[in-house]
A and B are shown apart, each in its own frame.
Chain A
Amino acid sequence: QKEVEQDPGPLSVPEGAIVSLNCTYSNSAFQYFMWYRQYSRKGPELLMYTYSSGNKEDGRFTAQVDKSSKYISLFIRDSQPSDSATYLCAMSEDDYKLSFGAGTTVTVRA
């Protein structure tokens, strides 16, 4: 079993829809939770960063962390074609190593 599980999709939605992405994990020591976005042929870029449990909102993006269920989510509201990318969850304990999910490929259709 992988430390971080993420459904690779692909996920295809119409423009304006809400995109819902999630990851589960097995390591209860994870405290830092991140979502990265990766466009084709580019490196990942940080979208959201959360410490411990709770919700965080940034514009059209909302990240949720439920440590009791070992489950994190990312919601994208009013999705745009420019949101088409691969979304990777990542998490870390108190040290320096990030464990990434496999990534979910999202396509937003105009």
Chain B
Amino acid sequence: DSGVTQTPKHLITATGQRVTLRCSPRSGDLSVYWYQQSLDQGLQFLIQYYNGEERAKGNILERFSAQQFPDLHSELNLSSLELGDSALYFCASSVVQGPGELFFGEGSRLTVL
């Protein structure tokens, strides 16, 4: 168990809908990262927050947004969902801002029908 908690574990929804994925980092970790894992693209970095502030952005679509709250949990919002958004979404946390050890949650599997 990495100590990172993600909910929900599985989610099935329809195209055009909006979903929110939630992540609780390990106790004491200030950095939260979101990654998308699909069969054809592998693990793709989406966005990083450090102590409530956005620190780095990857290939995150404009339809997606995220935030980190004062209690350090984070949410990833996916809207106007398309079939191609079906993937595993991982949250990871770390103590530091830079590329140290990332602790990954077990992921949220999103299926868009």
Contacts and interface: CB of A to CB of B under 8 A. Distances in A.
Interface of A: 32, 34, 41-46, 49, 88, 90, 92, 94-103
Contacts of A42: 106
A43 B97 contact: no
Interface residues of B, number: 27
A98 B44 CA distance: 9
Given A96-B98, A97-B56, A45 B104 contact: yes
A34 to B, nearest CB: 8
B99 A43 contact: no
A43 B105 contact: yes
B101 interface: yes
Interface in B48-78: 48, 50, 55-56, 58
Closest 5 CB pairs of A and B: A43-B104, A92-B99, A100-B43, A96-B56, A102-B42
Contacts of B98: 94-96
Contact of B97 (A92, A96, A103): A96
Interface string B80-106: 000000000010100001111111111
Contact of A103 (B2, B42, B50, B92): B42
A83 B15 CA distance: 38
A98 B105 contact: no
B92 A43 contact: yes
B2 A43 contact: yes
Nearest to A41: B106
A100 B48 CA distance: 15
B90 A97 contact: no
Nearest to B99: A92
Contacts of B99: 32, 34, 92, 95-96, 98
B19 to A, nearest CB: 19
Contacts of A102: 42
B54 to A, nearest CB: 11
